[in-house]
Amino acid sequence: MRRIDFIKLTASLGACYLAAFIGSIFTAPEISTWYATLARPTFAPPRLALRTGMDSPLHHDGDLRIHRLEAGAGRSEG
């Protein structure tokens, strides 16, 4: 990676983290008041439903399949 690209990447990520940090300063004191009052949907998946060891490999596999279909590699000949 060229040095200029690394500097641009660092500056871009730094700007995003700075914006998130500033937003968290103003949001943190209000979480106990508004977050607790949110209406939950009737269906919510279990807490560990999306935090399994298979989560990342499944998403990666799905992503590869989508790219293959978009490229036409998923079509069967004949």
Mean pLDDT of 16-20: 94
Q: Look at the pTM and tell me if it is higher than 0.75.
A: no
- Residue 24 falls inside a structural domain: yes
- Residue 64 falls inside a structural domain: no
Residue 57 is which amino acid? P
Quote the number of domains for the chain: 1
- Residue 49 falls inside a structural domain: no
- What's the first-to-final CA gap in the chain, in angstroms? 44
pLDDT tens readout for residues 37-69: 888 888 776 666 555 666 677 777 888 888 888
Q: Provide the 8-state DSSP code for 30.
A: G
- Residue 55 falls inside a structural domain: no
> What are the structure tokens assigned to 38, written together?
């949110």
- Residue 9 falls inside a structural domain: yes
CA distances in angstroms from 31 to 22, 39, 40, listed in the order given? 15, 14, 15
